[in-house]
Amino acid sequence: MITLATPVTEAAVRALKVGDEVAITGTLFTGRDAVHKYLHDGGQLPAGVSLRGGFLYHCGPVVIKDQQGNWRCVAAGPTTSIREEPYQWQIIRDLGLRGIIGKGGMGDKTLAACKDYGCVYLHAVGGAAQVLAECIHKVPNVYFMEQFGAPEAIWEFEVAGFPAVVTMDAHGNSLHKEVFAASQAELARNL
Amino acid sequence: MNVLSDSLLELIRRASAEIPDDVHRAILAALEREKQGTIAQSAMKIIERNIAMAKTKSQPICQDTGTIIFYVQCPAGFDQIGFEDAARGAVKLATVKGFLRQNSVDSLTGANDGTNVGPGSPVIHFHQQRSPEAEVRLVLKGGGCENVGAQYSLPNEKLKASRDLDGCRRAILDAVLQAQGKGCGPGILGVCIGGDRATGYEFSKEQFLRPLDDHNPNPELERLEQDILSTANKLGIGPMGFGGQTTLLATKIGVLNRLPASYFVSVSYMCWAYRRQGIALGSNGDIRKWLY
């Protein structure tokens, strides 16, 4: 298990390879469909959100307010990342992201951007909303709540020991491409 | 809140937080099969821990609490309008309590009013039956697995799939290949052979009401179900698409008549976070018994 603390350096990210298990500590920002389209269309991140050296988590959490009025995250697994494929490369290039956390993997444009700009794709276990929510110790802020609704908002999470696996690295390798090719060949033998 | 609404709230809570026993057994068996020290085994361990935590904390297994689909078996004279009111009330309250995510979005404006109640949500299917009993089953189907569902129109030249069971097999296995880990595998397939585009998908989803360890009463379909399961598990897609032994936990196949011109194979994919529960209602809307 490799520990990554935000902000991470380009060198730390380039040292990672497909199959590495990591534990993330520090700040994560969520962003999914609405945020990606908004940024792609020229929208600006709100003051207080910086992705430079950080991680963007494809996640639409369940967050409720406790009796003291603080946000408490009760479920926070990853959402399917491939929907952001048209936009992700540009966000990596322009906003200095070092990691994307999601599920299901992404395509060639994102893989190329990971290589060109020093970024990795980290796969969290889809559906594991409780295990992952337990790693979120604080929810300091939420942005775009009114505009995009709770699942699509940018949530700021303070996390410790958040588990994920590198499935696309900064060297052009993708576990998703490997598994697809191998499974396609095996299926052909079984038809 | 009336008694029925309270019962439906508890049904939603339990469906969201507790995996049914038949699914849990299949997941434990899948965990055993993965090789020591692999990322597939790590993923299955996290899944197993997640199942236990969700139950203990009474919180959603997965944050995507999905499309809310009620299946109601009811006698003639059952108050369907009253049921719909009670279901909408229970859904709203379950959302406030965090058993359901604010998950229903206006498709044109993107607005999310945070209630989970609106056109098409929740989905309620009524089926009348002669028995005086009323039973309510609930499936919460996440968006990630819904997005990898697929419908094939046979013949399909690219897949060399003709209008026969071998063609159906080719189509179903193609759906497994295309889904990879994106639907949160290891998954469960619900399949309908036949029907039209709407009824085919609808009936494919109804297969998810079947316990995982049941057997198809039609021997040909039983063989096909077992064949799809064993072949899919040879493909090495594995949990989350990480590579590994278990790609599917089960396959359930149903059949509807079709038009001479049409031959659809509709495949719905259910994630490992298989949220399904059911209750038999007592005479005043109370929970008489749990069905899974």
Domains in chain B with CATH codes: 3-15+61-142+275-290 (3.30.360), 144-270 (no CATH)
For chain A, domain boundaries:
2-189
- Taking only the tens place, the pLDDT of each residue in B138-180 is 999 999 999 999 999 999 999 999 999 999 999 999 999 999 9
Helix then strand count (H, E) for chain B reads 8, 9
- Active-site pick, A36, A58, A123, A176: A36
Contact A62 B101 (CB under 8 A): yes
Closest partner residue to B272 (CB to CB) among A127, A133, A180 is A127
**Distance between CA B195 and CA B266 in Å, rounded?**
9
**Distance between CA A52 and CA A13 in Å, rounded?**
13
Which chain B residue is nearest to residue A176, measuring alpha carbons? Answer: B241
**Is residue B63 within 8 Å of B198, Cβ to Cβ?**
no
**Distance between CA B80 and CA B2 in Å, rounded?**
15
Those of residues 81-110 in A touching chain B at CB distance below 8 A are 82, 103-105
Q: Averaged over A42-46, what is the pLDDT? A: 95
Q: Are strands B134-141 and B67-75 parallel, antiparallel or unpaired?
A: antiparallel
Instruction: Determine contact: A75 vs chain B, CB below 8 A.
Output: yes
Which chain A residue is nearest to residue B179, measuring alpha carbons? Answer: A104
- Joined together, the tokens standing for residue B164 give 């026969």
What is the SS3 assignment for B277? strand
> Which residues lie across from A56 on neighbouring strands?
A29, A100
* Averages of pLDDT over each 10 residues, chain B, 292 residues: 92 98 98 97 98 96 96 97 98 95 94 95 97 96 97 98 98 98 96 98 98 97 98 98 98 98 98 98 96 96
Please list, in sequence order, all residues whose beta carbon lies within 8 angstroms of the beta carbon of residue B140, skipping any fewer than 6 positions away: B12, B15, B16, B65, B66, B67, B68, B69, B100, B275, B276
Q: Kindly tell me if the per-residue pLDDT of A29 is higher than 70.
A: yes
Closest partner residue to A21 (CB to CB) among B39, B49, B238 is B39
pLDDT band for position A66 (cuts 50, 70, 90): confident
Instruction: Show residues of chain A in contact with B50, CB under 8 Å.
Output: 125, 127-131
**Least-confidence region, from A62-76, A119-133, B71-85:** A62-76
Please count the other Cβ atoms lying within 10 Å of the Cβ belonging to residue B10: 18
Contact A129 B54 (CB under 8 A): yes
Q: Is A171 a catalytic residue?
A: no
Those of residues 208-267 in B touching chain A at CB distance below 8 A are 231, 234-238, 240-243
CATH number for the A2-189 domain, one of 3.90.870.10, 3.20.130.10, 1.20.1250.20, 3.40.640.10?
3.20.130.10
Please report the beta strands in B233-274, taking only residues with DSSP state E, as ranges in sequence order: 248-255, 264-270
- Joined together, the tokens standing for residue B182 give 């994106």
**Is residue B227 within 8 Å of A108, Cβ to Cβ?**
no
Share above pLDDT 90 across residues of chain A, in percent, rounded to a whole number: 96
pLDDT for B1 equals: 55
Q: For residue B55, what are the CA distances in angstroms to B48, B50, B143, B218?
A: 11, 9, 22, 36
Please list, in sequence order, all residues whose beta carbon lies within 8 angstroms of the beta carbon of residue B56, skipping any fewer than 6 positions away: none
